[in-house]
């Protein structure tokens, strides 16, 4: 039996705003929206892909759920994003900042090969060096 990594859940104050932000940042699609939960999945996934792909090979989505408290400490778990080698990494970071992300210092070295950003509610994530696989 194989378990599937189904989703990563992100606690937030405004699920609609956070889901919309991450959907735009990742170019994903919103597939469920309510006052207390929103779900986004990769933009290339459609019903045909879901039917043709083995259960355990379908990648995770992101689920945003409402919580009453704001974020107060560094994340214990975060998302790493990586641009392809054909992309301009700095331009991608600037695009994310233009959407409302901001740089944060979580103790990374000045010469780190990644950049730590936070989404509009303060959840940290990293933009890694460009990769081709």
Which sequence spans correspond to the domains of the chain?
Answer: 1-70, 71-133
Check residues 87 and 56 and name the one with the higher pLDDT: 87
Average pLDDT across the chain, whole number: 94
Instruction: Give the residue-averaged pLDDT of 32-56.
Output: 91
Q: What is the pLDDT of residue 125?
A: 97
Query: What is 1-70's CATH number?
Result: 3.10.180.10
Class of domain 71-133: alpha beta
Q: Is the pLDDT of residue 94 over 90?
A: yes
Closest CA to 132 of 85, 97, 73, 92: 85
d(CA 58, CA 39): 15
Q: How many CB atoms sit inside 10 A of residue 119's CB?
A: 22
Q: What is the pLDDT of residue 50?
A: 84
Q: Is the pLDDT of residue 19 over 80?
A: yes
Written as six digits, the tokens of 56 are 């355990």
Q: Is the pLDDT of residue 2 over 80?
A: no
Q: Is the pLDDT of residue 1 over 60?
A: no
d(CA 20, CA 46): 19
Domains 1-70 and 71-133 share a fold: yes
């Amino acid at each position: 039996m194989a378990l599937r990594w189904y989703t990563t859940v992100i606690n937030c104050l405004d699920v609609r705003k956070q889901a919309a932000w991450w959907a735009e940042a990742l170019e994903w699609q919103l597939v469920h929206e309510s006052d207390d939960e929103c779900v986004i999945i990769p933009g290339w996934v459609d019903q045909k892909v879901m039917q043709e792909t083995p259960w355990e090979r379908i990648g995770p989505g992101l689920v945003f759920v409402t919580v009453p408290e704001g974020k107060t400490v560094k994340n214990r778990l975060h998302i790493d994003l990586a641009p392809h080698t054909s992309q301009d990494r700095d331009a991608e970071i600037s695009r994310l900042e233009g959407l409302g992300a901001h740089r944060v210092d979580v103790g990374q070295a000045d010469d780190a090969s990644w950049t730590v950003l936070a989404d509009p509610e303060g959840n940290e994530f990293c933009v890694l060096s460009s990769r081709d696989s």
